[in-house]
Amino acid sequence: MPDLPMPAIDSGHVFFFGLGYTAFRLARRMRDAGWRVSGTVRSAEKASALEAAEGFAVHVFDGTAPIAATEPFAGVTHLVDTIPPRDIVVPALERHRGDLRACSSLRWVGYLSTPAVYGDRQGGVVTEDEPPTPGSRRGALRAEAERAWLDAFSGSGVAVQVFRIAGIYGPGGGRNALEQLKAGKARIVDKPGQVFNRIHVDDIGSILLASMARPRDGGIYNVADTEACPPGDPIVFAAGLLGIDPPTPVPFDSAELSEMARSFYSECKRLDTTRLSEELGVTLTYPTYREGLRAIAAGGLSV
Ligand SMILES: NC(=O)c1ccc[n+]([C@@H]2O[C@H](COP(=O)([O-])OP(=O)(O)OC[C@H]3O[C@@H](n4cnc5c(N)ncnc54)[C@H](OP(=O)(O)O)[C@@H]3O)[C@@H](O)[C@H]2O)c1
């Protein structure tokens, strides 16, 4: 595995609303660099397991009630929200807006959003300066959540950033085409002209760290690799790495897709990521799925 960048930032105390796939990998990286790590998950079992195995302070939070601990944000300097909007658009703000505004140590907030806020751009290139034009309920909720975070600390010294993240892949958890092929779960949905960007989970971590080193209140960043491509390309490439045949493409119109997947395939855009390099100084470790999948294959598969 390549060495991952760790910008020179004074280590502090990072709090993750939602210690899921992306947050967990960044949390480990920050802990190993000397940070205190706290966060939330939805079940007491997962919280205890994470505390025991990783040394994080983990609270149970499912959005229906505030975190039970007194002062869960004491000393928190950086906050990352990874919880997707559902019935409650931003559970963290719904339950803890006052606590977070009163947290005098807090200086940086990052909200993980999605390019669904742009709606369908018929394959066009989209930059962060274009206003959100969501075409789905999913996108509309995300745009609302972004606005809520961007407005939450106005008039304070806290810098709030929004990250619009492409399709996440990476090692473990069935989150890559290699594991999906081995598990017999890889599918190629054929929709002519359809392309989308992806991003390796550890490049997301590097981008968040780069933003922590260069905060900009109100900063919005497309978080994506350098190659928007058809959905099947990484699967064909992964099959080549495994020395097996890729699955036969299924036409979009006859593919059995979840509501979420159908909404995803109904939109097509290419994400401009100039801001990542020019403003944050980021060089992706995995500029395309090829570098990412090769590294995952070299690291061994957890299936
Ligand atoms: N997957 C993609 O390709 C993709 C692309 C763009 C953006 N995103 C978004 O980027 C973010 C990070 O993605 P990820 O794949 O790392 O997410 P993930 O693994 O699904 O983690 C989400 C975290 O949020 C927690 N959570 C979910 N619903 C919650 C609720 N209602 N109340 C409280 N906590 C809740 C989960 O708790 P538990 O740990 O208990 O499960 C988990 O810790 C998510 O918002 C995701 O929607 C994902």
pLDDT tens-digit profile of 101-121?
999 999 999 999 999 999 999
Distance 18 CA to ligand 1 centre (A): 6
> How many residues would you count in the chain?
303
Residue nearest to atom 30 of ligand 1 (CA): 62
Percent of the chain with pLDDT over 70: 98
Q: 85, 145, 68, 67: which is closest to 110 by C-alpha?
A: 145
Distance 184 CA to ligand 1 centre (A): 24
pLDDT in tens, 162-199: 999 999 999 999 999 999 999 999 999 999 999 999 99
DSSP the chain: -PPPP-------EEEEES--HHHHHHHHHHHHTT-EEEEEES-HHHHHHHHHHH--EEEE--SSS--SSSSTTTT--EEEE-PPPSSSS-HHHHHHHHHHHT-TT--EEEEEE-GGGG---TT-EE-TTSPP---SHHHHHHHHHHHHHHHHTTTSS-EEEEEEE-EEE-SSTT-SHHHHHHTT----EE-TT--B-EEEHHHHHHHHHHHHHS--TT-EEEE--S--B-TTHHHHHHHHHHTSPPPPPEEGGG----HHHHHHHT---EE--HHHHHTT----SSSSHHHHHHHHHHT----
pLDDT at 301: 57
pLDDT at 302: 47
Strand 250-251 relative to strand 189-190: parallel, antiparallel, unpaired? parallel
Q: Is 279 exposed, middle or buried (0-12, 13-18, 19+ CB in 10 A)?
A: middle
pLDDT at 303: 37
pLDDT at 1: 66
Distance 190 CA to ligand 1 centre (A): 27
pLDDT at 10: 87
pTM (global) more than 0.95: yes
Ligand 1 pocket test: pick from 87, 136, 149, 165 the residue with the most ligand atoms within 8 Å of its Cβ. 165
CA angle 6, 287, 226 (to 5 degrees): 125
Is the separation of the CB atoms in 268 and 206 below 8 Å?
no
Q: Give ligand 1 pocket residues (Cβ under 6 A).
A: 18-22, 41-43, 46, 61-63, 82-84, 86, 91, 112, 114, 165, 167-168
Distance 19 CA to ligand 1 centre (A): 8
pLDDT at 263: 86
Strand 125-126 relative to strand 270-271: parallel, antiparallel, unpaired? parallel
Q: 174, 12, 3, 168: which is closest to 80 by C-alpha?
A: 12
Positions of the chain with pLDDT under 50: 302-303
Extract the tokens encoding 239.
């099959």
* Direct distance between the N- and C-terminal alpha carbons of the chain, in angstroms, rounded to an integer: 18
Ligand 1 pocket test: pick from 17, 28, 42, 54 the residue with the most ligand atoms within 8 Å of its Cβ. 42
Extract the tokens encoding 150.
């961007």
Distance 276 CA to ligand 1 centre (A): 22
Domains of the chain and any CATH numbers: 13-168+200-224+270-285 (3.40.50.720)
Ligand 1 pocket test: pick from 37, 168, 271 the residue with the most ligand atoms within 8 Å of its Cβ. 168
Is the separation of the CB atoms in 177 and 293 below 8 Å?
yes
Residue 276: C-alpha distances to residues 8, 28, 207, 225 (Å): 17, 23, 7, 10
**Number of the ligand 1 atom closest to the C-alpha atom of 40:** 43
Distance 240 CA to ligand 1 centre (A): 30
Q: 129, 152, 148: which is closest to 140 by C-alpha?
A: 148
How far is residue 195's CA from residue 271's CA, in Å, rounded to a whole number?
Answer: 11
How far is residue 84's CA from residue 168's CA, in Å, rounded to a whole number?
Answer: 14
